[in-house]
Amino acid sequence: MIRKLFKQMLVPQILSAMTVMLCMLVDSMMISRFLGVDSMTAYGLANPVLLIFAAYGAMLSAGIQVMCGKTMGAGDKEGTNACFSASVVLALTVSLAGMVLILLLVNPVCTLLGGGRPGPDNPVFYLTRDYLRGFIIGAPAFIVAQIMVPFLQISGNRMRLALAVVLMTVGDIAFDLLNVFVFHGGTLGMGLASSFSYYLALIVGLAYFFRKDCLFKLRLKAIRRKVCGELLKYGVPTIINSLAMVVLVFTLNKILLGAGGNRAVAAYSVISTVGNICYCFGSGVASVALLLAAIFYSDEDRSAIYTLVRTQTYYAVVLDAALVVAVLLLAPALVSLFLTDPAARTVTIQGLRLFSFSLLPCSLNTTFKNYYQGVDHVRFTEAISLLQNVTFPVLVAVVLSRFLGTTGVWLSFLGGELLTMIVICAVVWKKNGKARVSAEAFALLPRLFGVKTEDMIEMTVHSQAEAEGASLQAAEFCKAHGESPRNSMLISLCVEEMVNNIVAHGFRKDRKDQSVDIRILVKDGNRIIRIRDNCVNFDPLEYLKLHENDDPMAHIGIRMVMKMVKDANYVNSLGLNNLTLVM
């Protein structure tokens, strides 16, 4: 079930990661081809503002994934609503304040960005100001759309998320074309086109949050300083990652100027643009890993975490291995989209091909970095960000550029990622006490995490016949752990009743990948049953409340089970039903 869930979440996550990059790519190509060099310069000068807002949205998004993952995994609905409410308030207040501030101070901001001072002989200043005014109107939608991504993933609304992402991309292209060929709005129109596309995506996504069955409720009273602090704290590694990338770009530009001049810097600009799109595949895998790691870690589900580590590694390797081959083959065609000068193209093609070899280790490093953030190794995550994105690539670039020139800089991407991977392996092996390559080793779970293997049994059911077999295994497990024959029989009846109910009423006829995962564990003297399924959404606790005045013989099975438990908790997360029964 976890492998299927990972695969289902992966595509919309990659699309959402790719959208901003594609929109920036489309904007840059449209501006450079149709509005001229001055407009392209203005766009480049305004980009840091976009990146600042993007970094803030990414920080909130990462914080949501970790914090909501923990609360959802623990079945803490109040904590989840507090996280949702705090993130909405933080997104709106900062984005609206930033929008108003830039609109009021747009002239000094343009000068600060490098646009110079206003005057008839400085058209770049006015073009930059126009683009900022157009783009900044969409800043609230841009940031809110970013924080919608993890909430839509958690609620299982993956199709809605994919639709919002696709409409945002298509809308940006359509609005850009209308601006260029119909309205002739210049850089102001290009900024507005981006803003309109963000609001288009926002409208599609927001529709879910106004539905009655929405998992998240806006509770302003639930917002506390502690909640906001934790939300921002869990997003700090993302900010460190972004700042490290800025330092890397600045430093490599300096090295390239000395090693190869303007042509080498132009080549790096193209490589960065293509690379940012390629990174979306690895960051998509990493984002899914972060959210699932937080949920399974909070649930203390050791076996699910081991499966997650294997699954995330598989997708990181397969996707980026294919990506490396694609970039190697398509490098000339990709470079020709940006450059026409033969000499510059030759340098850029070589650089892009050498850069492509870094994509696979980069994807693995980024995926494990996010995974470790989800399982509370935050300091390790921050260290990986600094080593991966600035320390090692700069070190390798400085050393190799002395002997290989620009080729040494292109090799620094691969060298930096390999050195980072060596550090990750060294830390993991040191903590485990020996060098071994396995999911159990790289999961880096505390020694006393969850329950012992012998105190737990896990089963997967696909039919009513298998449900009967599962109930018998449950009875044997309970007897082996000291339960009386009567109590063992009652626990097995609970399993059989609840699972049969799911198979009979929850399985969809048009789907073949439905299953029920059952975990029975002994913890703190309690017998705990955890049932997870990917069938029709059904909350048995709410169902009983709605039918408490019905005939006592109606819904007899669920009533019987609920009378035998001392605590029951239901939560729907990632489109899965999760029921926990403490006997």
Mind listing the pLDDT tens digit for each residue in 174-183?
A: 999 999 999 9
CATH number at residue 575: 3.30.565.10
Confidence tier at 60 by pLDDT (50, 70, 90): very high
> Cβ–Cβ contacts within 10 Å for residue 55, how many?
18
Domain final residue, candidates 169, 190, 223:
223
Position 26 pLDDT exceeds 70: yes
Position 21 pLDDT exceeds 70: yes
Assess contact for 564 and 583: CB atoms under 8 A.
yes
461 plus 548 within the same structural domain: yes
SS3 188: helix
pLDDT at position 564 is 83
pLDDT at position 22 is 75
Integer CA distances (angstroms), 154 to 24, 508, 571, in order: 27, 21, 11
110 plus 55 within the same structural domain: yes
Return the closest-CA partner of residue 437 out of 513, 526, 539, 364.
Answer: 364
Confidence tier at 503 by pLDDT (50, 70, 90): confident
415 plus 487 within the same structural domain: no
438 plus 515 within the same structural domain: no
Return the closest-CA partner of residue 75 out of 295, 350, 373, 383.
Answer: 295
> Cβ–Cβ contacts within 10 Å for residue 226, how many?
10
| Helix locations, 299-387, DSSP H | 302-336, 342-356, 359-374, 378-386
Confidence tier at 552 by pLDDT (50, 70, 90): low
> Cβ–Cβ contacts within 10 Å for residue 104, how many?
10
SS3 149: helix
Integer CA distances (angstroms), 198 to 17, 148, 187, in order: 14, 12, 17
Spatial separation of the C-alpha atoms in residues 529 and 3, rounded to whole Å:
22
Position 33 pLDDT exceeds 80: no
Cα dihedral sign, 534-535-536-537? negative
DSSP 571: E
pLDDT at position 568 is 84
pLDDT at position 4 is 86
526-533 β-sheet, strand order: 456-461, 516-523, 526-533, 576-582, 567-573
What residue has token string 């609970």?
494
299 part of a folded domain: yes
230 part of a folded domain: no
Domain final residue, candidates 189, 223, 257:
223
pTM attached to this predicted model: 0.84
Spatial separation of the C-alpha atoms in residues 6 and 14, rounded to whole Å:
12
Write the single-letter amino acid at 227: V
Integer CA distances (angstroms), 578 to 447, 530, 575, in order: 26, 7, 10
Number of domains in the chain: 3
Residues 220-232 have pLDDT tens digits of 888 888 888 888 8
Instruction: Give me the chain's average pLDDT, please.
Output: 87
Say which range, 87-91, 416-420, 435-439, has the weakest mean pLDDT. Answer: 435-439
Assess contact for 570 and 561: CB atoms under 8 A.
no
38 plus 157 within the same structural domain: yes
Both tokens assigned to 556: 């007899």
Strand-strand pairing, 576-582 and 526-533: antiparallel
Contacts of 559 (CB under 8 A, 6+ apart): 544, 552
236 part of a folded domain: no
189 part of a folded domain: yes
- Residue range 521-532: mean pLDDT, rounded: 85
233 part of a folded domain: no
Integer CA distances (angstroms), 171 to 152, 157, 179, 192, 253, in order: 20, 21, 12, 11, 33
Rg (CA), the chain: 27
252 plus 182 within the same structural domain: no
Assess contact for 64 and 89: CB atoms under 8 A.
no
DSSP 182: I
- Residue range 183-192: mean pLDDT, rounded: 91
H/E run at residue 390: none
Assess contact for 74 and 89: CB atoms under 8 A.
no
Maximum average pLDDT range among 139-148, 180-189, 413-422, 439-448: 413-422
Cα dihedral sign, 301-306-311-316? positive
247 plus 340 within the same structural domain: yes
- Residue range 235-242: mean pLDDT, rounded: 84
pLDDT at position 554 is 63
Higher pLDDT, 414 or 463: 414
Say which range, 62-76, 302-316, 409-423, has the weakest mean pLDDT. Answer: 62-76
Spatial separation of the C-alpha atoms in residues 533 and 531, rounded to whole Å:
7
Position 521 pLDDT exceeds 90: no
Assess contact for 485 and 577: CB atoms under 8 A.
no
Domain final residue, candidates 164, 193, 223:
223
155 plus 171 within the same structural domain: yes
SS3 347: helix
pLDDT at position 258 is 81
pLDDT at position 215 is 84
- Residue range 530-551: mean pLDDT, rounded: 78
Q: What share of the chain is helix, strand, coil (3-state, %, to 5)?
A: 75, 5, 15
Contacts of 45 (CB under 8 A, 6+ apart): 110, 113, 114, 115, 124, 128
Integer CA distances (angstroms), 59 to 56, 184, 249, in order: 5, 36, 20
> Cβ–Cβ contacts within 10 Å for residue 21, how many?
18
Spatial separation of the C-alpha atoms in residues 148 and 144, rounded to whole Å:
6
Q: 549 φ, ψ to 5°?
A: -95, 5
Q: Report the length, in residues, of the chain.
A: 583
Spatial separation of the C-alpha atoms in residues 366 and 316, rounded to whole Å:
9
480 plus 502 within the same structural domain: yes
Position 553 pLDDT exceeds 70: no
Confidence tier at 213 by pLDDT (50, 70, 90): confident
Residues 298-354 have pLDDT tens digits of 888 888 899 999 999 999 999 999 999 999 999 999 888 777 778 888 888 999 999
SS3 572: strand
Say which range, 256-260, 435-439, 442-446, has the weakest mean pLDDT. Answer: 256-260
Assess contact for 157 and 209: CB atoms under 8 A.
no
pLDDT at position 126 is 92
Assess contact for 154 and 164: CB atoms under 8 A.
no
232 part of a folded domain: no
Return the closest-CA partner of residue 576 out of 66, 30, 72, 79.
Answer: 72
Both tokens assigned to 343: 């000499």
pLDDT at position 411 is 94
DSSP 509: T
Find the domain containing 280 and state its range: 241-449
389 plus 265 within the same structural domain: yes
393 plus 461 within the same structural domain: no
251 part of a folded domain: yes
pLDDT at position 444 is 92
What whole-number percentage of the chain has pLDDT above 90?
33
289 plus 431 within the same structural domain: yes
138 part of a folded domain: yes
Position 551 pLDDT exceeds 70: no
What residue has token string 């929008």?
99
Cα dihedral sign, 458-464-469-471? positive
